[in-house]
Structure 1
Amino acid sequence: MRPITRRVLVGFALVCLGLLALGALPSFLGTGDPYYLTATPTEADGPAVNATNLTERRYPYLTTAVETGRSEPYRRGPVGLKEAFTHSPFDEHEGLVARNPDARRDDGVLVQVDDQRYLVTVTR
């Protein structure tokens, strides 16, 4: 094998291993206090995000919060590396606001699932 070909293959293998490590590494980088997405039943009026047909694949923290009251914990990375590669409750909160900006409240987002309304917030 020619030296240039060997270098290209080794370089390609290192890039592949690096990308694989970045995909697995963020789950090990969690530090600090955990963040949760909480869903509190409410009787508040006004516009709400219709979350009846939102899937668990797209909104895993929201669906868990609606079912149990609080999602699984999420810990931020030490230097912001984790946030670039993982899905977080902050992403879901902003996604809900993007679906209906009028549903934003001072302390969260008003969400309606079937006939029940929830105030969804990111808490520590």
Structure 2
Amino acid sequence: MRPITRNFLVGLLVVAALLLALGAVPSLLASGDPYYLTATPADPPADVTPVNGSTLSERRFPYTFAAIASPEGRSAAYYRGPLGLKGAFTHAPFDEMGAYAEQYPEAVTPTATYVRLENTTYRLTVTQAADSES
């Protein structure tokens, strides 16, 4: 194998390894108190039309479905990470709330989003709490 070809392949492997590492690192970063998406059964305000939860994808809204399915009514913890770096590489409860505001503005109030699933309407909010799991 010629040296230029070998150097190119080594460089390509290094770049691929760095990209894989960059994808894995954000999930390992955890700093500060965790954020949760909480779901509590509630009646929506009169001017709010809840999102039909049966039309939502569990892959697109994993925090929503985790909070609704949880006996405590909250999703798994999400940590922002140092300097907010993690947010650019991972899915967060904030992303879901932003998607609701963009796609379903009639279901969003300044403090919550309302989703109806299996004849129950849930009030979704992002909360920050001291980590009790540590």
Task: Give the structure-2-normalised TM-score.
Answer: 0.85
The answer (yes or no) to whether the contact 1:35–1:122 under 8 Å persists in 2 is yes
**Are the equivalent residues in 2 in contact too, given 1:34–1:74 (CA < 8 A)?**
yes
SS in 2 for 1:32: coil
Amino acid at match of 1:54: L
* 5+ residue gaps, structure 2: 129-134
Q: Provide the rounded CA distance (Å) in 1 between the counterparts of 2:83 and 2:12.
A: 27
Tell me the residue number matched to 1:59: 61
- The residue that corresponds to 2:93 in the other structure is 89
**Distance (whole Å) between structure 1 residues aligned to residue 96 and residue 86 of structure 2:** 16
CA offsets 1:48-67 (integer angstroms, 9 cap, x no match): 11112323222111001112
Structure 1 segments unaligned to the other structure (5+ residues): none
RMSD: 1.3
Equivalence map 1:1-124=2 (5 Å):
1-44=1-44, 45=46, 46-68=48-70, 69-124=73-128
Quick check: 1:49–1:99 contact (8 Å CA) kept in 2? no
Determine what percentage of the aligned residue pairs are the same residue. 51
Equivalenced residues, count: 124
